[in-house]
């Protein structure tokens, strides 16, 4: 299994026990691919309704048009109707990266750990060093009230020789324990720096 063309050597660290739930329309009508957001929202609503059955940390990953994966510790009730959907428990499975069919679910879990927000266009970071200059790549700055939100510079000096660098606004989400904003930002910067098409520069997105 590889990430950004680099082989992952500690595959055992990505094993993840999950509970699979079926989320189907109560009236029996079909569910297109575009309804995946709705079935995930139904699970979040059920989890909020029965918060005592689930720990604080978690994720909801759509497996297919009718199936979602949640942490194994989320013992949500089965057979309950949430809006137009009925939720039923399927099985508990340990996701193993050595199993090809599990890899997309593991990737979905990892994506839930960090979100690159789309509304960072209004933010620009500059530094003053013999004039106004672009920020240095690899800066992670948390200027927000939320402790899990920060600006990360994946472009800037020394890569960007002209124009103004645009930082990314990221949000970390706790899916298994507390996520370190500094460590997540560090990984994001390294991912963006893996630019094989031009080795003397980096990319904005990982």
CATH of the domain at 88: 3.30.70
Please give the pLDDT value at position 28.
Answer: 85
91 with 23, same domain?
yes
Number of structural domains the chain divides into: 2
Residue 166 is assigned to a structural domain of this protein: yes
Please give the pLDDT value at position 41.
Answer: 92
108 with 119, same domain?
no
120 with 106, same domain?
no
Print the domain residue range for 63: 14-112
Residue 135 is assigned to a structural domain of this protein: yes
Residue 157 is assigned to a structural domain of this protein: yes
Please give the pLDDT value at position 140.
Answer: 73
108 with 26, same domain?
yes
105 with 31, same domain?
yes
Q: Does the pLDDT value for residue 60 go beyond 60?
A: yes
Q: What is the mean pLDDT of residues 80-106?
A: 91
Q: Does the pLDDT value for residue 2 go beyond 50?
A: no
Residue 50 is assigned to a structural domain of this protein: yes
User: How many angstroms separate the Cα of 21 from the Cα of each of 40, 41, 51, 111, 112?
Assistant: 10, 13, 17, 20, 18
Q: What is the mean pLDDT of residues 134-163?
A: 70
Cα–Cα distance for residue pair 38/197, rounded to 1 Å: 38
Cα–Cα distance for residue pair 133/17, rounded to 1 Å: 47
Q: In 3D, which of 156, 111, 160, 162 has the Cα closest to residue 138?
A: 156
Q: What is the mean pLDDT of residues 107-123?
A: 69
The residue among 80, 95, 112 that closes a domain is: 112
Could you report the per-residue pLDDT of 186-198, keeping only the tens digit for each? 777 666 665 555 5
Peptide bond into 158 cis (omega under 30): yes
123 with 79, same domain?
no
Residue 201 is assigned to a structural domain of this protein: no
42 with 55, same domain?
yes
Structure token digits, residue 191:
């991912």
97 with 122, same domain?
no
Cα–Cα distance for residue pair 205/136, rounded to 1 Å: 16
Q: What is the mean pLDDT of residues 68-82?
A: 92
Residue 8 is assigned to a structural domain of this protein: no
Contact call for residues 179 and 172 (beta carbons, < 8 A) = yes
* SS3 of residue 83 by DSSP: coil
Residues 6+ apart with CB under 8 A from 86: 23, 24, 25, 26, 79, 80
The residue among 112, 135, 164 that closes a domain is: 112
Q: What is the pTM of this model?
A: 0.64
Structure token digits, residue 118:
């789309």
Could you report the per-residue pLDDT of 164-182, keeping only the tens digit for each? 667 777 777 776 667 777 7
- Positive or negative, the CA dihedral 183, 186, 192, 194 is negative
């Amino acid at each position: 299994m590889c990430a950004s063309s680099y082989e992952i050597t500690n595959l055992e660290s990505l094993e993840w026990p999950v509970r699979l739930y079926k989320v189907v329309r109560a009236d029996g009508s079909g569910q297109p691919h575009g309804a995946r957001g709705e079935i995930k929202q139904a699970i979040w609503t059920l989890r909020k309704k029965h918060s005592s059955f689930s720990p604080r940390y978690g994720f909801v990953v759509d497996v297919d048009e009718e199936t979602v994966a949640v942490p194994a510790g989320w013992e949500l009730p089965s057979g309950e109707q949430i809006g137009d959907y009925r939720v039923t428990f399927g099985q508990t499975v340990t996701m193993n990266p050595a199993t090809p069919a599990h890899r997309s679910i593991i990737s979905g879990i990892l994506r839930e750990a960090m979100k690159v927000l789309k509304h960072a266009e209004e933010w620009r970071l500059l530094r003053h060093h013999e004039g106004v200059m672009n920020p240095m790549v690899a800066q992670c700055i948390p200027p927000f009230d939320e402790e899990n939100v920060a600006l990360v510079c994946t472009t800037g000096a020394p890569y960007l020789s002209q124009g103004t660098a645009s930082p990314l606004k990221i949000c970390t989400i706790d899916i298994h324990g507390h996520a370190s904003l500094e460590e997540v930002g560090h990984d994001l910067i390294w991912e963006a720096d893996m630019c094989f098409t031009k080795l003397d520069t980096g990319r904005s997105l990982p």
